[in-house]
């Protein structure tokens, strides 16, 4: 079930980078923040062997 989160005292540089990324990807700030959090917190769907192969390239 979706829930809400409020962030306080976000550094200006972080906010500006998030805002720029949202504009680049044509997303709202909220959607961009969710995508950023998911990319860091959710397990990668790339197999470990594939990740190693990419790292070796």
Classify residue 33: in a domain, yes or no. yes
> Which 3 state secondary structure label does DSSP give 21?
helix
pLDDT tens digit sequence for 6-56: 999 999 999 999 999 999 999 999 999 999 999 888 877 777 788 788 888
Q: What is the structure's pLDDT at 31?
A: 96
d(CA 39, CA 53): 20
Classify residue 49: in a domain, yes or no. no
Number of domains in the chain: 1
Classify residue 46: in a domain, yes or no. no
State which residues form the domain around 23: 11-41
Q: Does an H or E element contain 49, and which?
A: helix 48-56
CB 28 within 8 A of CB 21: no
């Amino acid at each position: 079930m979706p829930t809400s989160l409020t962030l306080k005292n976000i550094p200006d540089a972080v906010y500006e980078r998030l805002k720029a990324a949202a504009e680049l990807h044509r997303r709202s700030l909220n959607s961009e923040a969710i995508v950023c959090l998911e990319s860091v917190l959710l397990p990668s769907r790339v197999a470990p062997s594939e990740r190693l192969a990419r790292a070796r390239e």
